[in-house]
Structure 1
Amino acid sequence: MVEEQKFDFLQMVPKVHRVTKLASDQLTIWDISKESLKERAFSIPKHGPFILVVSTPLCSFCNSAAKYISSDEELKIIFSEYSYWLTEPRGQLYTEHFERWSLRYPKLPAGLMNVKPPSPVLRSNIGTPAFYFFLDGDFVQSFVGWPREGEPIALDSALANIGLNRFRKPISKT
């Protein structure tokens, strides 16, 4: 474990909580807060729908997507229950960007991949945000990008393909 240390030329180094008993091929992610980095195992759930969004807190398109999803009550519920937003490792880690993301979009959990994604599906990512839709652990479809006006048609179609209906209609009793 690394304790916090203050240097004139560095920001505060967060406490690091590592998980040591994982298989070497197990994907791990870092849950990030201002105070700490917490490593944990990560895998696509084997049952039910799941949405993985590869994003970065500094990307304007990722922020547009998150804002659009957070402003729609149905989407906010779906994404808070069935999604996780991950950032690929880059050169430097600025925890304040993840902290701001969490404050702006509390229903859209985000973390940092500990290594480049092992899955060929995820390795093919060519931009952010990249939305990956899974059902019962199997990849169903994906799309990349988010124009200013949003991607409601692509998003609604992908959600329907994994059994999630954005527009829940009450069953009429006749």
Structure 2
Amino acid sequence: MNTSIEQPMVEQLIEKLKIQLIDGNLNYDDFRKVYDDLRRLQRKFQNLLQLATEDQRRRKEGEKFQRLYQHVAGWKASDLMESLKRIGFALKKDSALKDAFDRQGYRILELVRAGKRDEAFHAILRIFVSSKKQFPSLLVEAFKPVYSDELFKIFLFSFLSGILSKEETEQETQ
């Protein structure tokens, strides 16, 4: 079954935006709503694709699903990187977490640089457990094997740059 899926609601929203653009009467809230709807739809699709990839792993189509899943996961890589940095900045305000990361930071940085995902995950998880804090779900996302080693490193370095940075930046106050 190789048919294209019609998305009348999305198409209608896009047409509404086109008309606004042509008329010169732009409404930011309408553009923002379409953006939010598309992101929500993309997340739902990625979650379904992840389940399909896991289901098809040992079947003939498994490799195709894996490639598609990696491509879709790459769509949100820059968003994930920025979100992880913001999480790092926010967590820095918790003195217990900040102190623990300050003590273990260089070790974790070296584990990440060496691409040792399991060990880096364990070291970071241990900090959260010992501080009795919840492990951020977006941080779990960075450890998923669908991301290349290079993206994994970028994600973790983004997170660590937020929590390990010494000076206060504009991004912390946002």
Give TM-score, length-normalised by structure 1.
Answer: 0.30
Larger C-alpha radius of gyration, 1 or 2? 2
Which has the larger share of helix?
2
Which has the larger share of strand?
1
